[in-house]
Amino acid sequence: MLAELVQFLFAGLTAGAIYALVGLGFGLIYNASHVINFAQGEFVMLGGMTTVFAAAAGLPLAAAVAVAILVTVAAGLALEMVAVPTRNASVVTLIIITIGASISYRGAAQAFFDKQFHTLPSFSGEDPIDFLGAAILPQTLWVLGITVLIVIALQLFFHRTLLGKAVLATSHNRLAARLVGINVQLVLLLSFGLSAALGAIAGVLITPITSTNFEVGIMLGLKGFCAAILGGLGSGVGAVVGGLLVGLIEAFGAGYISSEYKDAMAFGIILLVLFFMPSGLFGKRTTERV
């Protein structure tokens, strides 16, 4: 009984950590530009796929990961440069641009890489660790550990550095940010780049567990979106809590109810949140400034 519970718990936390990273990426871009970036899942896919192919080309794993993060950040910056200069475009137009971008990135990955499923070796062996009777993959600990480090690093960046505060200031009041001399264009690039990097890291971390192909971004992006909505769009704490909750609900639901409804549970959460708590668990309840 306990072993089963612990097994589901770790499965949920692992998936939840990945959703949290994707959800944080949604929040970063949303805060900076009020755009919901539906290419967020593609960043996860690009991170995993590029690492696989860079490693297959002979690069050591660490170098392959670095290349993958750079490629994905470049894709994020390109998205910002194409989408945001569309002056006077409404947020809805920009969101549709991100949907177009996600299709393009998926198509490019399909053409440039291939349509097969690929996996990566675990970072430190495949032998499960026995914990209270449950078998925990070492990669799970990598996922959880690196996610914790990233969350701490983001907290430090936003609350301890002037640049981080400039990003927060820009998201709160873009006009005032420009008037104190913050280069808003740079803040947008930074947010898209950082968001892409988070996605790429999530993709690298999860690939040894779930494997990857050119289409994995669709589902991971949607689950990350669930996490961001549940936590409250734009809230960092919310994305982390939302991600872990979505992961745990999925894992326990699949384990104790039916694994057929695993995906339906995440999307059921979205509907419930949007109906009854549209600003999420930690979202701002203030109305839009006019």
Contact residues for other proteins, defined by CB under 8 A: 162, 165-166, 168-169, 172-173, 175-184
Query: What backbone torsions phi and psi does residue 224 show, to the nearest 5 degrees?
Result: -65, -35
CB of 186 to other proteins, least distance (A): 8
CB of 179 to other proteins, least distance (A): 5
CB of 284 to other proteins, least distance (A): 9
CB of 88 to other proteins, least distance (A): 9
In angstroms, the CA 28 to CA 22 distance is 10
CB of 58 to other proteins, least distance (A): 44
Query: Closer CB to other proteins, residue 168 or residue 270?
Result: 168
- CB neighbours of residue 13 within 10 Å: 20
234-238 long-range contacts, CB within 8 A, separation 24+: 234/27, 234/30, 234/31, 234/171, 234/283, 234/284, 235/27, 235/280, 235/282, 235/283, 235/284, 236/24, 236/27, 236/151, 236/154, 236/155, 236/158, 237/282, 238/23, 238/27, 238/280, 238/281, 238/282, 238/283
Query: Closer CB to other proteins, residue 186 or residue 219?
Result: 186
Query: Closer CB to other proteins, residue 134 or residue 182?
Result: 182
Nearest Cα neighbor of 198 from 64, 79, 42, 55 is: 42
Query: Closer CB to other proteins, residue 129 or residue 186?
Result: 186
Q: Vertex 97, ends 94 and 100: CA angle to 5°? A: 160
Query: Closer CB to other proteins, residue 146 or residue 168?
Result: 168
Nearest Cα neighbor of 195 from 103, 85, 77 is: 77
Query: Closer CB to other proteins, residue 131 or residue 157?
Result: 157
CB of 127 to other proteins, least distance (A): 47
In angstroms, the CA 282 to CA 279 distance is 7
